[in-house]
Amino acid sequence: MEFRQMTYLVPICGVAALVFAWLRSAWVIKQEAGNEKMAEIAQHISEGAMAFLRREYRVLAIFVIVAASLLSWANSGNPASSALIGVSLVAGAFCSALAGYFGMKIATKANVRTAAAARKGLNPALHIAFSGGSVMGFCVVGLGTLGLSGLFLVYTRLFDSGAAQADLLRAVTVLTGFSFGASAIALFARVGGGIYTKAADIGADLVGKLEAGIPEDDPRNPAVIADNVGDNVGDVAGMGADLFESYVGSIVGSLVLGVSATTLAGESYTPALVVLPLVLAGAGVLVSLAATFLVRTGEGGNPAHALDRGTFGAAGVMLVVVWFLAHRILEGTYVIAGTEFDATGVFFATVAGLAGGVAIGLITQYYTSEAKKPAQQIAKDSLTGAATNIISGLATGMRSTALPVVVLVAAIVVADQQAGLYGIAIAALGMLSTTGIQLAVDAYGPIADNAGGIAQMSALGAEVRARTDKLDAVGNTTAAIGKGFAIGSAALTALALFAAFRATVGLEVIDLANARVMGGLFIGAMLPFLFSSMAMRAVGRAAFKMIEEVRRQFREIPGLMEGTGQADYAKCVDISTQAAIREMVAPGLMAVIVPVVVGFYDTAALGGLLAGVTSSGVLMAIFMSNAGGAWDNAKKFIEAGAHGGKGSDAHKASVVGDTVGDPFKDTAGPSLNILIKLMSVVALVIAPLLV
Amino acid sequence: MEFRQMTYLVPICGVAALVFAWLRSAWVIKQEAGNEKMAEIAQHISEGAMAFLRREYRVLAIFVIVAASLLSWANSGNPASSALIGVSLVAGAFCSALAGYFGMKIATKANVRTAAAARKGLNPALHIAFSGGSVMGFCVVGLGTLGLSGLFLVYTRLFDSGAAQADLLRAVTVLTGFSFGASAIALFARVGGGIYTKAADIGADLVGKLEAGIPEDDPRNPAVIADNVGDNVGDVAGMGADLFESYVGSIVGSLVLGVSATTLAGESYTPALVVLPLVLAGAGVLVSLAATFLVRTGEGGNPAHALDRGTFGAAGVMLVVVWFLAHRILEGTYVIAGTEFDATGVFFATVAGLAGGVAIGLITQYYTSEAKKPAQQIAKDSLTGAATNIISGLATGMRSTALPVVVLVAAIVVADQQAGLYGIAIAALGMLSTTGIQLAVDAYGPIADNAGGIAQMSALGAEVRARTDKLDAVGNTTAAIGKGFAIGSAALTALALFAAFRATVGLEVIDLANARVMGGLFIGAMLPFLFSSMAMRAVGRAAFKMIEEVRRQFREIPGLMEGTGQADYAKCVDISTQAAIREMVAPGLMAVIVPVVVGFYDTAALGGLLAGVTSSGVLMAIFMSNAGGAWDNAKKFIEAGAHGGKGSDAHKASVVGDTVGDPFKDTAGPSLNILIKLMSVVALVIAPLLV
């Protein structure tokens, strides 16, 4: 069939993304890097970030090799799978790690160049910061599509026994390892990165700002470099690995479900449903790429509008592309688990996913923006002290779960009605098809944030700082939408992987009337609580060590406060690095081991576990992310002059909320996105062993 | 069959409990009520409490009448049900309200008499406080068994068409209304009571203790009476209605499941399984009654041991009674949803329930006790400020969900293995069969707390206050175990009612692969977050009004601080009352309406909703209750001298945590227990309309 040749175009799209990323990075590197002082600070940040990444990857390499060997061993000789699944795992982990490495390398070069450009004006600075973010974005989608489609083409050639359907199923099953590799890297990167960034942040704030009374990003603060490294480690590499996982997971989920569907005539060989997700992913790369050229703004323009034009433009074009490709590739009516669907159904499932993602993003923005009522109410409740600030923030976070869940459920029900389980996977894929530009916008944020830090530390003056602050503020708004997207896509991806798991393991029903399923549901629902607790306590322990060290330096280094002594930045970087690496292991292993243990005990109980962890995980993620965001912006609202402004009692109360919110929104919350996907993918990967 | 005549003994057990409660209350009233000042204060508290109850009941009466009329109308002419279901509803609500009325009436008399007796010694005081609590405990089980078994006997006589099985099923179906009535009262009482008590508490503390700098329970504090009323409204009437609901729900769940089981031979008329729950309830009343006589201690003895002897003694004896009765009443082997079981299986299901309840209680105690590591760690984390205190408390609360859930799942799986769905219901019933003494011990706590307040306000001197403090401390320990019990039994009861709903509506499977079920699960899991947020915001709003009023009185009443002016207690009582009544309506209605709407949309989605609300509700309840308890005791640990003691920075930080914990542990947390049961019972009640 002619359309199958389209599959060969997908790796080419991946290569195009990588070429684009390479061109962007060459351009960024060519830009002026500022004066000597700036270069020195940037050097510190870059070295710290890359050192962390290397140490993290060294630990992860061990995990990946062990997991890949076990999987290969368990699947060798299995006619439905192959020892090559271990190769998929290594490839997935490698692609994710490579994307993180490149993205962070360029991000830590773009930050100082953004600061340097901010001396000239807002737009040159915006352009560099966004270009830096684009490298992360297009490395992720480039390596994702290239890796997945490349392996797909190899496997479909290798597994050629003549039984087209079985061969395709086998190829896709072996491909699930790629998703597992991506998930494993993502979990450790998010958890490790989250611990790193918040330990440094809390350490820098509590001792530097509160005890020593020096401003944010002051070079006298020994933890200041670690704090800036943390932004890259958590928000660039961590976010990149997160979206890489979602991206790959949604494609793999669609592939598995595509194989398991049949045609209306009962013919079970339906390659069109397998080709479609790959082609959609490839098309999404090109659309995203084109959309980056929409991110331009004239002098005096609003950078936020430029960024919005990019993401919303890409989403709009993508809808048209989906309509066209679905009708071009799909031929007639298909059936999955009793639901009939056709190209139009697939299109509307995609619309449900995309609309749901945008809606959740906007709701997230409402609950966290300093211009909206919820954050302002928290600011007002700070007038009666820290306790009422905390209660108000927690209540806001809890309340903010309601609408996103309703939207999510609507998207699920519509997608299912339109195209069954395949529709849910395609909805997730639709939401994630423009990951390239979405992630570029997300990664732009921490680059702008870093640029502000460098401007401050190199004493570039108020005007420059004002420009970087403006870029940073824009980044915060887009970040809120990006976070909503990340949660929504994580939920849909987890459900798609869950459905794929059921299809693979042949579980016709997962019956809540079964006590083991109910037991699995309870255990699953509990895990996000336990996991969040572990992450928060890890931050607490790491921050405590950081506080001790910063206090020690202020005490022991002569002339540090006066500016004549030199802070030992490396020591603080080292503390965050060590703590993050050590503390990420326990929660990470728990996430991998629990589904395996439960799965071998009882397959249906594993189904319950996944449902529990997904529902409770999504809720806890929304609750914690939004509470943290709202506290943050309540503080900013007060700092902008409300309720007495900086230094008032209300401000002190709001600082307490902001500090509590840090591990909520930057460590535990985002890690939960990964937890739910990882558990589903683990179930999917071990599924052939459970049959 | 001879054993069916045992059913007639059950109402007699109920009457025995009521007679015992009457004797105890007569004895309490006869005790010395102290001096004039004490009597006056007690009068204030009693009047405030009864006024609240009357106003609350007036609002609830409207709800009950409307709900009963609707249910009667919808079921009239339904051959599987009857318009009498409305009568059941009214009866259930009436019994719950009556138990709350009597219990609170005596509790507000026992408090001042306990204070008076504390002038003589510890043991007379313990005796009065416990006797006061017993009135609540035995009113609940007395009215519960009497009401249920009385209606059961009436209905089985009324519905006599000759088709034994169908008639019995109909009688039991109509009886579910009783459970709904109990649940409705419980929800409003818990939510309303929780809002009342915390608004008063926060108002009294923030303005009195922190701003005006006067001690706890100082008569100059205008909110002090409202605060003491709150203890009765929340912890006596609220807790009583909560356990009344669980108690009745577990019996009704067992009855419905008992009817739906068959004998091994396929004979579907198995009245023994219906008789057993009623007889167990009756026997539990007598065992509890006997166990109250174990609560005695010689001079110098430890009151805690006396109370433990009562509850654990009752549980131990009950096990023997269950073994005997199960083997006496059940004849051979039964089948429910494919699981075969006999008397021994029923016995072990009960053991699983009881052991699970005790284990959850002990785990709760570990995570909240000031003598154990978690609370002490929070105290230590208060050294670095309020933010780390809050993070530590939240992390502790989240972590504390893990073991209770594992225990709960073990109890569910064992009970199901031993006796199928019937086993889960019987496990809940086993846990709750000794509610009489359990609740007596629970209600003892707030009476002792009130006695301390009265002693302080009437300036009875340090020695007396030390004795009441000791009684109060014992109450706090037993309360922790009681809370764990309440959560565990709520979860099991909800699952039993859920199973009963499925049996009634004829849902063979509730399949998580169905998108609507999954959607229901997500919505259900979200509701506890939304509900908690509503409850916490309600407390915030009410507390804000209270703070304003207390500040106004300090400002405007001349000589108040000097002790020459008189505080206007009634005004504060009125604010709490109005706020509680107004604020309880929205969350209460949401809990009733959502399952109805979802149920009429799709029955399977309602199944998913119940699973979601139960799993997420149990987790949030444990999280919030334990975080609150741990914060409270971390503060007490510091006040006892650790980390600088009272007035230190660590103490100030710990006060923030304690204040945040108040709505967690006393409003939102306990209300969730009811939410999960209420939603299940609503589903069960509307089930005949959905078939």
**Residue spans per domain, chain A:** 2-257+264-690
Q: What whole-number distance in Å separates Cα of residue B625 and Cα of residue B239? A: 14
Of A537, A547, A611, the CB nearest to B512: A611
Residue B65 burial by CB count (10 A; 0-12/13-18/19+): exposed, middle or buried? middle
N- to C-terminal Cα separation, chain B: 33
Position B212 pLDDT exceeds 80: no
Q: What whole-number distance in Å separates Cα of residue A432 and Cα of residue B579? A: 47
Position A682 pLDDT exceeds 60: yes
B residues 460-499 closer than 8 Å to A (CB): 495, 499
Position A691 pLDDT exceeds 80: no
Residue B514's nearest CA partner among A628, A417, A521 is: A417
Starting at the earlier edge strand, list the strands of the sheet with B339-341.
Answer: B262-263, B334-336, B339-341
Whether residue B107 contacts residue B443, with contact meaning beta carbons closer than 8 Å, is answered with yes
pLDDT on residue A427: 92
Residue B483's nearest CA partner among B618, B681, B290, B294 is: B618
Position A248 pLDDT exceeds 50: yes
Q: How far is B440 from chain A (nearest CA, A)?
A: 31
Whether residue B125 contacts residue B118, with contact meaning beta carbons closer than 8 Å, is answered with yes
Segment B544-558 mean pLDDT:
87
Q: What whole-number distance in Å separates Cα of residue A500 and Cα of residue B10? A: 53
User: Around Cβ A61, how many Cβ atoms within 10 Å?
Assistant: 14
Residue A484's nearest CA partner among A352, A249, A669 is: A669
Confidence of residue A71 (pLDDT cuts 50, 70, 90): very high
Measure the CA angle with vertex B633, ends B629 and B635; round to 5°.
Answer: 120
Chain B within 8 Å of A547 (Cβ-Cβ)?
Answer: yes
At A339 the three-state DSSP class reads strand
Contact between B523 and A623 using a beta-carbon 8 Å cutoff: no
Q: Which residues of A touch B603 (CB under 8 A)?
A: none
User: Around Cβ A204, how many Cβ atoms within 10 Å?
Assistant: 28
Contact between B512 and A608 using a beta-carbon 8 Å cutoff: yes
Whether residue A390 contacts residue A657, with contact meaning beta carbons closer than 8 Å, is answered with yes
Measure the CA angle with vertex A645, ends A640 and A649; round to 5°.
Answer: 145
ipTM confidence: 0.93
How distant, in Å, are the alpha carbons of A18, B248, B273 from that of B4?
80, 20, 11
Number of Cα atoms under 13 Å in the Cβ half of residue A377: 17
Return the higher-pLDDT residue of B423 and A462.
Answer: B423
Confidence of residue B506 (pLDDT cuts 50, 70, 90): confident
Return the higher-pLDDT residue of A395 and A559.
Answer: A395
User: Around Cβ A438, how many Cβ atoms within 10 Å?
Assistant: 31
Chain B within 8 Å of A507 (Cβ-Cβ)?
Answer: yes
Structure tokens at A576: 């965050």
Segment B462-480 mean pLDDT:
80
Q: Of the given ranges (A107-116, A395-404, B550-559, B653-662), which has the lowest mean pLDDT?
A: B550-559
pLDDT on residue B1: 43
pLDDT on residue A544: 85
What are B318-335's pLDDT values in tens digits? Answer: 999 999 999 998 888 888
Q: Which amino acid is at B669?
A: G
Q: Which residues of A touch B409 (CB under 8 A)?
A: 519, 522-523
Residue A275 burial by CB count (10 A; 0-12/13-18/19+): exposed, middle or buried? buried
pLDDT on residue A661: 92
Q: Of the given ranges (A561-575, A670-684, B134-148), which has the lowest mean pLDDT?
A: A561-575
Chain A within 8 Å of B382 (Cβ-Cβ)?
Answer: no
What are B74-130's pLDDT values in tens digits? Answer: 988 888 888 999 999 999 999 999 999 999 999 999 999 999 999 888 888 988 999
Measure the CA angle with vertex A627, ends A625 and A633; round to 5°.
Answer: 100
At B161 the three-state DSSP class reads coil
Position A339 pLDDT exceeds 90: no
Q: What whole-number distance in Å separates Cα of residue A516 and Cα of residue A539? A: 35
Structure tokens at A627: 């509470």
Q: Of the given ranges (A463-467, B59-63, B561-565), which has the lowest mean pLDDT?
A: B561-565
What are B369-394's pLDDT values in tens digits? Answer: 888 999 999 999 998 889 999 999 99
pLDDT on residue A176: 92
Residues 6 or more apart in contact with residue A210 via CB below 8 angstroms: A655
Residue B690 burial by CB count (10 A; 0-12/13-18/19+): exposed, middle or buried? middle
Position A344 pLDDT exceeds 80: yes
Task: Give just the sign of the alpha carbon dihedral B456, B460, B465, B471.
Answer: negative
Q: How far is B248 from chain A (nearest CA, A)?
A: 22
Segment A308-315 mean pLDDT:
86
Measure the CA angle with vertex B14, ends B9 and B20; round to 5°.
Answer: 125
Segment B19-27 mean pLDDT:
95
Q: What whole-number distance in Å separates Cα of residue B432 and Cα of residue B145? A: 12
Segment B341-358 mean pLDDT:
91
Of A206, A415, A515, the CB nearest to B384: A206
Measure the CA angle with vertex A587, ends A584 and A588; round to 5°.
Answer: 70
Residue A169's nearest CA partner among A534, A681, A688 is: A688
At A304 the three-state DSSP class reads helix
Long-range (24+ apart) CB contacts under 8 A made by A559-562 are A560/A220, A560/A222, A561/A212, A561/A214, A561/A220
How distant, in Å, are the alpha carbons of A90, A92, A94, A239 from that of A64?
6, 10, 9, 20
User: DSSP assignment of B595-610, as one string?
Assistant: HHHHHHH-HHHHHHHH
pLDDT on residue B3: 52
What are A581-634's pLDDT values in tens digits? Answer: 888 888 888 988 999 999 999 999 999 999 999 999 999 999 999 999 999 999
User: DSSP assignment of A508-552, as one string?
Assistant: S--BTTSHHHHHHHHHHHHHHHHHHHHHHHHHHHHHHHHHHHHHH
pLDDT on residue B300: 67
Position B411 pLDDT exceeds 80: yes
Measure the CA angle with vertex B484, ends B305 and B311; round to 5°.
Answer: 30
How distant, in Å, are the alpha carbons of B146, B237, B618 from that of B25?
19, 16, 35
- Cβ-Cβ contacts under 8 Å between A and B: the total is 210
Q: How far is A404 from chain B (nearest CA, A)?
A: 10
User: H or E segment at A492?
Assistant: helix A462-505
Residues 6 or more apart in contact with residue A123 via CB below 8 angstroms: A297, A298, A299, A301, A303
At A336 the three-state DSSP class reads strand
Residue B36, phi then psi, degrees to nearest 5: -65, -45
Kindly report the average pLDDT of chain A as a whole number: 89
Measure the CA angle with vertex A146, ends A140 and A149; round to 5°.
Answer: 125
Q: What whole-number distance in Å separates Cα of residue B373 and Cα of residue B51? A: 42
Q: What is the pTM of this model?
A: 0.93
Contact between B417 and A515 using a beta-carbon 8 Å cutoff: yes
Residues 6 or more apart in contact with residue B643 via CB below 8 angstroms: B379, B380, B382, B383, B650, B651
User: DSSP assignment of A187-244, as one string?
Assistant: HHHHHHHHHHHHHHHHHIIIIIIIII-PPTT-TT-TTHHHHHHHHIIIIIIIHHHHHH
Q: Which residues of A touch B659 (CB under 8 A)?
A: 387-388, 391
pLDDT on residue A458: 86
Of A398, A526, A530, the CB nearest to B529: A398
pLDDT on residue A1: 44
Contact between A540 and B398 using a beta-carbon 8 Å cutoff: no
A residues 3-62 closer than 8 Å to B (CB): none
Return the higher-pLDDT residue of A181 and B234.
Answer: A181
**Which residue(s) pair with B340 in the sheet?**
B335
Confidence of residue A465 (pLDDT cuts 50, 70, 90): confident
Position A269 pLDDT exceeds 70: no
Q: What whole-number distance in Å separates Cα of residue A18 and Cα of residue A12? A: 10
Q: What is the β-pairing status of strands B334-336 and B262-263?
A: antiparallel
Contact between B663 and A607 using a beta-carbon 8 Å cutoff: no
Structure tokens at A620: 């806890």
Q: What whole-number distance in Å separates Cα of residue A289 and Cα of residue A510? A: 42
B residues 291-320 closer than 8 Å to A (CB): none
Segment A655-674 mean pLDDT:
90
CA nearest to B614 within chain A: A522
Residue B32's nearest CA partner among B138, B130, B134, B125 is: B125
Q: What is the β-pairing status of strands A339-341 and A334-336?
A: antiparallel
pLDDT on residue A478: 75
